[in-house]
Structure formats: structure tokens, C-alpha cells
Structure 1
Amino acid sequence: MEDSIKHSCMRLDLGSKDGVFYIMGTWLPSRFSLSITDGLRTWTCNASEEEVENRANQWDQLVSEYLETAEHYLGFQQPGSVYAFTPAGDENRRLSWAYEKQGTKLEWRWKCEKSSDDKKVTASILDFLMEANTRLSDEVVRNTRSFERMKVEAEKCLAQSERFNIDKAEFESAAYAKFVAVLNSKKMKLRDLRDRLSKTEHPHPGKLAQDEDDSSEKTQAFNGESDKSENSKAP
């Protein structure tokens, strides 16, 4: 049951004429209660389950939807909404808030009775605010420490990333240098193999030239003898 109880506290600023009020709300699954103070006087509103159900039926809402809407407008002063806390006789007050929904103006009202113990109600509101402030302060400290730890880790990751980039650049440079050296070595070996292959196909280029000259001379001599034979046969 405790887990389903929620609390809120709104600072309601009604301007210089009506002043500032603090509204503490206690929200349960089927009902709610309000404690209101201006610092001196206090008022209370205890909405029963039956009253909440009747109001929800009037607005054609489920009880849960009605309570959610009420908490929305009484948990924080909503911009664009018109609030009022007007006298309702016998020191009682009427709390109202109006807003527009789909072009229609809607106004909610709840009567708040003058409290018989102003000090007790004011003290309960102050206790809630002090406790909430302590929780928020602790949360700020925890979040600040967590942020500092995350900042340190982020700086470490950034430094490591920069180191990785440097190592990567150095590795790529060294790998490229090795690749160029291997490529040049392969080129030299290919040239050497080409030269050796050329020498294998033509082992004695001088002799080959001499053979070609001898063959040419023999061909010329043969042609000369043929000419002589033909001349001797002529009449």
C-alpha cells in the first residue's frame, strides 16, 4: 500500500494581490488529500473515494484518469492554466484551476476547509519540503560523483583512442614501407630472370651473326656458279 502512495508539493504563485501558497498533495489509487498554507494560515481538502468517483463520472473519466489529471495540475503550476484560491465562507477557501482542452475551457473546483491546527499542517508541509530537499541534495551529490567518474573514464577512453590511432598510423606506414621494399625486390628479380632468359635463348650472339654472314656468302657463291653454267650453255 505504501508503494502506491505518492506525494507532491506545488508552489502556487497567484501574483502580488493574492500571494503565494504551498499545496502538498497525497495521492492514493482512489482518493487524495491536500494541505495548503500561506505561511500563517492553513487549509485542508480530503477527497473521499465516493467524491472522486462522482467527479470522475461527471467528467466521463475513470477514477485513475481523474486522479492523474488532478495530480498533473496540482503537482506543478502548469503554464497556460488559470489558478484561483478564493474565499468560500467561514474562512474556508475554494481551490480551482481552469485549462483548455480541444478548444473547450474546463474548470475544476475543490472546497478546502480551514484547518484547526495551523502549526501542525505548516510543520508537516515544511517537513516534507526539507525531506525532499535532502533527497534532492543527496541525488545531486550522487549524480555529480557519477558524472566525475564517467568523465575520468571518458578521458581514459579518449587517450586510448588517440594512442590506437597513432599505433595504427605507425603500423600502416611500416607495412607500406615493407610492401614497397618487397615490391622493388620482386621487380629486381623479374629483371634478372628476364635477362637470364634472354641469354638462354641467344647464348652466342656473335656466333649467330657469323653464321648468318657465312650463309649469305654461300648463297652468293651459289648464285654466281649458276650464272656461269647458264652462260656456258648459251649458243
Structure 2
Amino acid sequence: MSCCSTSVRQISIASEPHRTFFLKLEWAEDLGSGFVILLSDGISAWSGEVSEEDVSREAQEMEMERERYVGDLHLALTGEGPAAEGEYSFHLTPERPGRPLLQLSYEKVQNDISFRLGVVDLQAVPEPTEVIRELIRHGLEQSTRLQAKNQHLLEENQKLRREQEHITKEMQRYVQGKERLERDLYSRFVLVLNEKKVKLRDLQKRVKELEESVEENRLRNKADSEDHKAMETAMPESNPMDDSLNDITDVAPCRKRHHRHLQQLETQARRAALDQRQRSREKPTEDAKAEMSKTSDVQPKPASAAANLDPDDLFDDI
């Protein structure tokens, strides 16, 4: 049987609690294709072989799938795996008269119930020294491999630690840069926001001024319209007295003085009416009518009266 894999482990035998045994296992592809067992207590050595047919038979007797059975067998004999320790036990049947063979059985313990996985017959090795030397050599090689693996893991760990420190520094630098960028962006945002607020206040102020200007223009136009209407109402109609005065012949200077006096009265009346209208725009029509009534009270003497004057009176006026 050409062997490709080897496993060596220390086991305890329930029937021999004060003795230490070393179990060496050799197999080709997997334990399902058969394996060779070598057992030694440091003084003597025993060996045995389990064929592929034996493995299949044991699986059928256990009523287990072959793949699962081979997995449990590997955990029990090699000790490799997190669930191997404490779940498997070994028993050694001593030699009996007429039977120079030992029997090594291996069992699986589950819920305080033991299930026998298999049994192998062991025959004493004629030269145990060679077997013990092989066990020592394998142990040293395994130790060297483990040390090299441990050294490699240490180097990888140091490398990962350096990378972690570098990444941590880079992350801190990125965080600081991010914080600086956030502060800068926030400052710029505040400046832009304040500028927008100033522009908005200016626009609101301009809108208010335009509204006030529009309202002022509306009031001014309304007042101008009312003034225009008041002026049209206050202007007197053509006085027929003016025509009569123009038609009368200038017979004496007293008439001219009397005519100028009437014109002055009319001018004063018009000015008083305009002043009164400006002081009280709410009732321009009534005030104008009142002024007109006052003006109408001052009537010039008719021409007939002037014609009936006594000549002596005219000379007295001169």
C-alpha cells in the first residue's frame, strides 16, 4: 500500500490510564480507501491494517453513510478537527493465550452513549527501535514544519499590523481632511447665504420703494384731477357787465377809476377763491360757489345810473 499522508498523535487508552501511547496513521487518498495503524508505548510497537472493505462493512454495521462514517473515522484517528477532542475514546484488548494479537477499538461518545466506529488487530513489531526512531523523526519534521508555519504566520501578522497602522494613519488623515473641507464648505456656504440675504433685503426694499412711489403717484394724480375739476368749477362765466362797460363811452375820468376799482375787486375775489380752494380741497366746489356769491354781491353801477348823475357831481369827482 503506497502511502501519501501521515499523521502522528498521542492517545490515551481507557484500560491503560497510566501508560502513554503514540498512534501513527498512514493512508493513500482518504481513510475510506484503507489505512495502516502503528501503535507504540515508547518501548514496544504494534502495527495493523484496515482495508477498504473493512471500512465499508463498518459503515453498514453503523447504518451510516459512507462519507459521514469516513469523516468521523478521520476525526477519531488523526485528532484533526475542533470536535475531535473529548468525543472519541480508545480501548486496547490485551493479548490472550493462543492469540498473540492486540485489538484496538475506537468509539464515538455522544450523549453519554458510546458507538464503536471500528476495530483493528495489531501485531507486535519485531524491531520496535526502528519504529520509535521513525516516530521521533516524524515528530521533529512536524515540529520544523510547524515552526516554519508559525514564523510565516508571525511575518504575515507583522505585515498585517503594519498595513493596519498605515491604513489607520491614512484614515485619520482622510478624516482630518474631510473635517477641514466641511468647515471650508460651511464657511463658503455662510458667505453665499449672507450675500443672498443682503440681496434679498435690497430687493425687498426696492419693491417697497416702488410700491410707495406708485401709491404716491396715484394720490398725486388723484389730487391733480380734483384740482383740475375744482378750477373748472371756480372759474366764473363771462360777465355781461364787462361788455356793457366796454360799450360805454369814456366820458369822464371817474368812470375809469370806477372801472379799475371793479376790476381790482374781481381780481381780489378770484385770488381769494383760489386761496380758499387750496386750503380746503375736500370741498372745492362749495368754497368756489361761496366766493362767487361774494363776488356777485359787489356789482358795478349800471350805465344808466352813471348817465343820470348830476354834472356837478362829476365835476366834484374831478
State TM-score, norm by structure 2.
0.61
8 A Cα contact 1:37 1:122, kept in partner: yes
Deviation string 1:153-205 (CA, Å, 9 cap, x unpaired) is 11111111111111111111111111111111122122223333444452896
Could you tell me how far apart the structure 2 residues matched to 1:21 and 1:38 are? 4
Which is further off, 196-205 or 169-178?
Answer: 196-205
Could you tell me how far apart the structure 1 residues matched to 2:180 and 2:40 are? 71
Q: Are residue 27 (structure 1) and residue 30 (structure 2) matched?
A: no
8 A Cα contact 2:11 2:21, kept in partner: yes
- Counterpart in the other structure of 1:55: 58
Q: Are residue 154 (structure 1) and residue 161 (structure 2) matched?
A: no
- Structure number with greater CO (CA < 8 Å, separation at least 6) is 1
1:106 Cα deviation after fit: 1.8
Segments of structure 2 that go 5 or more residues without pairing to the other structure are: 228-278, 297-318
Q: Are residue 73 (structure 1) and residue 76 (structure 2) matched?
A: yes
Which is further off, 36-45 or 98-107?
Answer: 98-107
1:164 to 174, 185, 195: 174
8 A Cα contact 1:35 1:125, kept in partner: no
2:199 alignment partner, SS class:
helix
> What is the number of equivalent residue pairs in this alignment?
229
Could you tell me how far apart the structure 1 residues matched to 2:67 and 2:215 are? 109
Question: Which residues in structure 2 correspond to 1:104-143 (within 5 Å)?
Answer: 105-107=114-116, 108-143=118-153
CA distance 1:135–1:218, change in 2 (3 Å)? same
Could you tell me how far apart the structure 2 residues matched to 1:136 and 1:125 are? 16
1:99 alignment partner, SS class:
strand
Could you tell me how far apart the structure 1 residues matched to 2:281 and 2:67 are? 125
Could you tell me how far apart the structure 2 residues matched to 1:12 and 1:57 are? 27
2:36 alignment partner, SS class:
strand
- Counterpart in the other structure of 1:10: 9
* Alignment RMSD: 3.6
1:150 alignment partner, SS class:
helix
8 A Cα contact 1:7 1:27, kept in partner: yes
Identity %: 21
Segments of structure 1 that go 5 or more residues without pairing to the other structure are: none
CA distance 1:226–1:169, change in 2 (3 Å)? same
2:282 to 213, 219, 226: 219
Which is further off, 138-147 or 102-111?
Answer: 102-111
- Counterpart in the other structure of 1:193: 203
Q: Which has the higher Rg, Structure 1 or Structure 2? A: 2
CA distance 1:193–1:74, change in 2 (3 Å)? same
